[in-house]
Amino acid sequence: MGRLVNMRHRDKFWYISANKLFSGLNEKEKVEMLSHLKEAVVKKGSFVYTAGDKAETLYILKEGKIKVSRLSEDGKELTIDVLRTGDIFGELVLAGEEERETIAKAVEDSFICAIEKGDFEGLIRKNPIFSFTITKWMGLRLRRVENRLENIIFHDVRTRIISILRDIAVKYGSPVQDGTLITLRLTHQDIANLIGATRETVTVELNNLKREGYIITSKRSIIIPAK
């Protein structure tokens, strides 16, 4: 993982206060949490963790882009999620994970906050509201992953692409005149890894969707037209 550095007290407090997941913490608990946070700088192409690493830490993406993926036995990559600012990852450590089963890699230079499992669990035990918020968030995250896997198993590539773009538009969408702009920059290979398809097939289907008016593309941007 990248080099751990100390964050300024003021910056850490602002970050915790601005993150909706931590809204259930009172001021004292926020101060306690920030005392445990360390910041890591992770360069593009570097790993936060890989499969088989010991699971002891929970991470929060402060800035940048992190991809969480899994490798099949034949070496093919399936992207579980692409994370945005404020997202927590490595959360399965709270569910008893002892060794990482996934890979977390920086797609661009990123800054993350790290907190040890025991310190985070201490905060959860003290605050039932915070505990409920984290449990609910983990459930929603798991449901999204399950839905994506079901799409891969039961639907064709075209349907999978439409589904994943809509999902990403909800999470990373920004309203524009023509519809919803996906602010997360994705390559055709990124989309392929998210839906379990080849890059070539994804390129063909994206061109078909563009021609039929389901999406509007320009350079590396994608817009979902308003209905």
The whole-number pLDDT of residue 25 equals 85
CATH value at residue 103: 2.60.120.10
Domain count, the chain: 2
Query: Which stretches of the chain drop beneath a pLDDT of 70?
Result: 1-15
Residues 116 and 191 in one domain: no
The whole-number pLDDT of residue 7 equals 45
The whole-number pLDDT of residue 28 equals 87
User: What b/e readout covers 185-208, taking b as 16+ CB neighbours within 10 angstroms?
Assistant: ebebebbbbbbbbeeeebeebbee
Q: Which residues constitute the domain of residue 198?
A: 155-225
The whole-number pLDDT of residue 22 equals 84
Residues 117 and 221 in one domain: no
CA 162 to chain centre: 19
Residues 183 and 219 in one domain: yes
Question: The whole model's pTM is what?
Answer: 0.75
